[in-house]
Structure formats: structure tokens, C-alpha cells
Amino acid sequence: MIPKYFIVAQKYRVVLFLSLCLILLAVSGLSFAETFKKNYPIKVGTTVGMVADIVRVVAGDKAEVKNIIGSGIDPHVYNPTRSDVAILLKSDIIFYSGLLLEGQMSDILVKVSRKRPVYAVTELLQKDYLLHDSETNHHDPHVWMDVQGWMKAVEVVKDAMVAFDPPNKEFYDKNAQQYLNKLKQLDNYARRAIGSIPQKQRILVTAHDAFNYMSRAYDIEVLGIQGISTESEAGIKDINRIVDLLVNRKIPAVFVETSVSDKNVKALIEGAASRGHQVRIGGELFSDAMGPSGTYEGTYIGMIDHNVTLIATALGGKVSQKGMQDKLTSPHN
């Protein structure tokens, strides 16, 4: 039997260790804040557009945001170039999405984190929230597809900006709160729009498994034609299984994605046509990248509004084709 005092001693050791970690964290946070000599705008580096968008809203004119992976580019396989590395090295603070979304950038993110704060915006999400992908044996990184999940990312950015630049705490708090209110509206709209699709047709067939968080949050079945990462190829067997489903349930539309090749989707349409069922392409969804910068679809809210409105329209739901706030501009056929 293990003596009681030994267990207590062990407990103390753990507590001591944790306290030490916290002190170290606090000290390092302090030193990062101290090195920043209040030269506004603060230089912020980000990996993907959805993260850049949060920082632009929360930090406003206090920050200049440089984003690395642009519109229409697949972050799963993205290799940073020399100029990307230069952006990171010149940044005062860096935000990335995390959960291995930016798989090829892990090494450089670790390296640059020695001299400046680097945050994964998904770090507040608890294990029981995160979906697991058995194929890659990792967490599913596509958290932004559930607006409530992405609201946690706003909190990470806000807290990090406050820690880095404490005198502007009120400014960051206010911006974050206003943004969270808008995201709450977006979340409500998404639930209403997807909920208006007739139950039998409420199934989203698309190129890769980016929509599982959307599926859980808004109650729509999702089928991706290839594994969770676009690095794996879809099998003929999977294609045939999905063709069966399209034909049997008379699903009217499937979707393509801006950052993923659509050849598998076209194979589905041909497969269904050969069995006498017409399926059309419901339109292009934004999965891992937003629309062109400077457009409504080039913001996180516009991206989700576009996706949800397009899906609802193509599958027989009842929504305005111009979306939540009449701002959608891209074609909704």
C-alpha cells in the first residue's frame, strides 16, 4: 500500500509544478508585452482569412494584419514561402487556427513562438466539444463552420490582445463584444435557414469533410467525398455509395468548394445521371478559405452567410437568396 503522506507529497509536487508553469507563462507574457514599445499599429501575422478577420475586427486600427494563406487556397497542404516566413518574423504577435489545419506550418510556428506570442485561436475549445476524425486520428480542425465554436476564437484573440497591449483593454473588449453579438445573429440565421430545408433532403454532399461541425450545430447530414484532408484520394466505392443515396433520396444538389478540386463531385453527377436522376451543382461553398478580400464573402460573416444561404436555397429551404442581411453578391443559382 502507498503511504498517505506519499500521495499528499505527490499532489503537492503537481501543484508546485503547475504553479511554476503559470509563473513562467506570466513572466513570458509580461516580457512580450514589455518588448512591444507601443509603436502602433501592432504588427499581427495570421495564417488563414477567418483568423485575420477576427483580429481586424477586435484590434481595429491598433493593428496591421498580414495574412498568409489567401482566398481559394487549401491550408491543409500549404507550404510557407520565404516571404511568408518573413511576415511571421516581422510580426509582434501571431494567430493561427490550429488543430493541425496548417499542418505544414507547425515547425515554423514553433520556431517563431520563441520570440513573440503565438496563439492557436482554437485553444479554448474543450476536448468534449471537438470532433475526432478516425481517418487522420486527429481532431477535426474545421471549427469555424459552427459559429458558436468560432465565438470562442474571438475570446482567444481578445484576451491575447489585452495581454499584449493592456492600456487598450476597453477598446478590445468593446470591439469583441459587438462582434460576438453579430455572430450570435449569424448563428441564429444559420439554424433557421438550414432548418427550413425539408428533412428528407437535408443532406450536404460536398468535396471534403469540412462541414462536420456545421452538421452537428445546425442539424444537417453531411457527406464528404474524400477524407478529412485533401491529401487523400476518394475511392470508387465511396462514390458509388453516395450515388445510391442521391438517387434513393432524390437529393437535388451537391456542392463544390473553392479551395478543393471538384472532379469527385462531377463523378457523382455523372453517376446519378447514368441512373436517371438529375443532380445539379448547388454552387461553390467556402470551406477552408473565404471569398476575395474587399467583398462581403471575404469576411467570416459573409462566408458563413453565403454557405448557409446557398445550401438552403439549393436543397429546397426557405430563405432570401441575398442572405441574412441582403448583402450576398456572388451568384446563387
133 forms part of the interface with Zn ion (CB under 5 A) = no
Residue of 187, 284, 288, 305 that binds Zn ion (CB under 5 A): 288
Residue 153 or 210 with smaller CB distance to Zn ion: 210
Residue 91 or 230 with smaller CB distance to Zn ion: 230
Find all residues with CB under 8 Å of 189, minimum gap 6, and list them: 305, 308, 324
Q: Smallest distance from the beta carbon of 140 to Zn ion, in angstroms?
A: 9
Cell 461553398 locates to 285
Residue 67 or 91 with smaller CB distance to Zn ion: 67
69 forms part of the interface with Zn ion (CB under 5 A) = no
From 26-34, 125-133, 235-243, 288-296, span contacting Zn ion (CB under 5 A):
288-296
Residue 146 or 288 with smaller CB distance to Zn ion: 288
Number of residues that bind Zn ion (CB under 5 A): 2
DSSP-assigned letter for residue 80: P
From 45-53, 128-136, 196-204, 206-214, span contacting Zn ion (CB under 5 A):
206-214
Residue 316 burial by CB count (10 A; 0-12/13-18/19+): exposed, middle or buried? middle
Give residue 192's identity as a one-letter amino acid code. R
210 forms part of the interface with Zn ion (CB under 5 A) = yes
C-alpha cell at 117: 506570442
Residue 51 or 324 with smaller CB distance to Zn ion: 51
Strand order in the sheet with 93-96: 63-69, 42-48, 93-96, 118-120
Q: Smallest distance from the beta carbon of 210 to Zn ion, in angstroms?
A: 4
Q: Smallest distance from the beta carbon of 287 to Zn ion, in angstroms?
A: 6
254 and 98 in contact (C-beta within 8 Å)?
no
Q: Smallest distance from the beta carbon of 142 to Zn ion, in angstroms?
A: 5
What is the C-alpha to C-alpha distance for residues 19 and 252, in angstroms, rounded to an integer?
57
Residue 262 or 288 with smaller CB distance to Zn ion: 288
Helix-, strand-, coil-residue percentages of the chain, each rounded to 5: 50, 15, 35
Q: Smallest distance from the beta carbon of 167 to Zn ion, in angstroms?
A: 38
What is the C-alpha to C-alpha distance for residues 52 and 68, in angstroms, rounded to an integer?
9
Residues in touch with Zn ion (CB under 5 A): 210, 288
